[in-house]
Amino acid sequence: MMGWRALGVVLLFSCGAAAAPASEGAGGEGTPSSEEAPSYGHGRQFGLRAGLTGGYRMAFRYASSPYCSAPDPAKSEKDQQKFCGFSAPLALDLAASFAILDGLEPFLWGRFGLQEEPKTDTEPLLLVGVGTRIYTMSDSAFKIFLEPAIGYELEGSRGTLRAPFDTKDYKQDFVFHLAAGPEYDFSKYAGVYLDAGLTTGVVRAINSTMELTVGLQFRAP
């Protein structure tokens, strides 16, 4: 009888010892109870993005600024239209970047007009510049970014809007750019973005474009 009791004690002890590691694995420190969420941070990645930009452009001319509408030969030069508003021609927006941190991504910027701008008699937009994107929630698939940048416009005149007294010179322009919007990453290597912003030039005239851009973002490695 004593032998059966001893055997029972041994079996109970063995079962308890075997069950203990299993219970630790289920909820203890040995094995996590759930998988970690994937990170979509882009620190130390190179990036390339391409977008299509359109918007509404407003120009306030200085006395020496190019016209912003067809000049009226019946009016003197000082009486020509000073303020104009019109739809901005579509442009291709490109940038190459390198993310120093998940939330900080400096970039080289280019914007290339797909059409001439008849209202101001300028050739298709040609703009180069630098800027950075500052991300919130930088390690999640859905992000919000702020995008400050500066640029330099290089396009010139088409030479078609000329009045007899017109001696206007199309100076190269310095611009300030600020935009913000959401980005959604399908993976660490590709995503889509939408931003709304304002680009303002100050040399040729005081001209601002309220703009909307939609595009694709690619990154590696």
pLDDT along the chain (221 residues), means of 10: 47 46 44 64 96 96 86 83 94 98 97 93 95 95 97 88 60 95 96 98 94 98 94
Distance CA 24, CA 35 (A): 17
Q: Looking at residue 163, what is its pLDDT?
A: 54
Asked whether the beta carbons of 59 and 83 are under 8 A apart, the reply is yes
At 2, the amino acid letter reads M
Strands 126-136 and 46-60: unpaired
Angle formed at CA 97 by CA 92 and CA 100, multiple of 5 degrees: 155
- d(CA 96, CA 102) in angstroms, rounded, equals 16
